[in-house]
């Protein structure tokens, strides 16, 4: 079975703090893809990153960074120097070739206070 | 501009009155899918389509129908809506079914069934 767990339901930080959103996944596929999406208060879903199972290199994009560790089945997302505009619900998702579908975690609501 | 367009954005209807939510993409994507988003449950897939005339059930297909007569359109049909179908619905499309490309999401349709 495929599963994505985002254990943190809500996180509240003060602006400029660093914050890490956890994502743990389960899959039996050897080839799979992991995603992060952002859902701001306006409701749309914004793609942030895709990572395939053969690429364990960490990625950095501005204040965003992602840490993919197959050994712990985790794909964590860190925001450095958080800003109020980062306030949103963040979803981690898994795509496995055997299922042809994107499995989402339950999301983490991040509130960045000024 | 590449986009997935859903209509309507908001809909209030009564139990049992058939409705259709339209979804159209202009990226020539093969893969399209429908999700519903409920508090605490994340996004769950309703139906997906790998190409024209090819559709299959997702995790929560009961009470829904879809069709894929043209590549660009993937309407979601509720033949007899019930209050438990009150939810936020998203249509998505991606280049292929292998997860090698990110899913583009529509703006969402907030459906209330009374």
pLDDT one-digit tens code per residue, B5-52: 999 999 999 999 999 999 999 999 999 999 999 988 999 999 999 889
Instruction: Evaluate if residue B103 carries a pLDDT over 60.
Output: yes
Q: Nearest C-alpha of chain A: how many angstroms from B81?
A: 23
SS3 state at B83: helix
Cis amide linkage into residue B8, ω under 30° from 0: yes
For A41, list phi and psi in degrees, rounded to 5: -55, -25
- For residue A114 the two structure tokens come to 């000024």
Of A37, A95, A104, the CB nearest to B99: A95
Please, which pLDDT band fits residue B98 given cuts at 50, 70 and 90?
low
Q: What are the tens digits of pLDDT across the range A73-95?
A: 999 999 999 999 999 999 999 98
pLDDT of residue A86: 97
Instruction: Give B15's contacts (C-beta < 8 A, 6+ positions apart).
Output: B80, B81, B82, B83, B113, B114
Are B99 and A105 inside 8 Å of each other by CB? no
Residues 23-42 on A with a CB inside 8 Å of B are 32-33, 35, 37
| pLDDT tens digit sequence for A28-70 | 988 899 999 999 999 999 999 999 898 888 888 899 999 999 9
CA distances from A43 to B9, B101, B110, B113 (A): 11, 22, 10, 20
Mean pLDDT over each residue of chain B, to the nearest integer:
93
Chain B closest CA to A96's CA: distance in Å? 7
């Amino acid at each position: 079975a495929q599963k994505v767990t985002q254990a943190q339901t809500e996180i509240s930080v003060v602006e400029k703090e660093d914050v890490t959103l956890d994502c743990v996944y389960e899959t039996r596929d050897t080839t799979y893809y992991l995603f992060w999406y952002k859902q701001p208060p306006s409701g749309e879903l914004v793609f942030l990153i895709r990572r395939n199972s053969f690429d364990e290199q960490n990625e950095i994009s501005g204040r965003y960074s992602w840490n993919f560790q197959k050994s712990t089945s985790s794909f964590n997302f860190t925001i450095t120097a958080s800003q109020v505009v980062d306030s949103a619900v963040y979803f981690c998702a898994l795509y496995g070739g055997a299922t042809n579908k994107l499995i989402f975690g339950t999301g983490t609501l991040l509130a960045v206070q000024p | 501009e590449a986009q997935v367009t859903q209509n309507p954005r908001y809909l209030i209807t009564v139990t049992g009155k058939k409705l259709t939510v339209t979804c159209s993409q202009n990226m020539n994507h093969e893969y399209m899918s429908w999700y519903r988003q409920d508090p605490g449950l994340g996004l769950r897939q309703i139906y997906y389509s790998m190409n024209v005339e090819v559709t299959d059930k997702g995790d929560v297909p009961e009470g829904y129908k879809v069709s894929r007569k043209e590549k660009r359109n993937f309407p979601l049909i509720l033949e007899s809506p019930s209050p438990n179908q009150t939810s936020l619905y998203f249509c998505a499309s991606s280049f292929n079914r292998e997860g090698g490309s990110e899913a583009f999401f529509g703006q969402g349709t907030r459906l209330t069934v009374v």
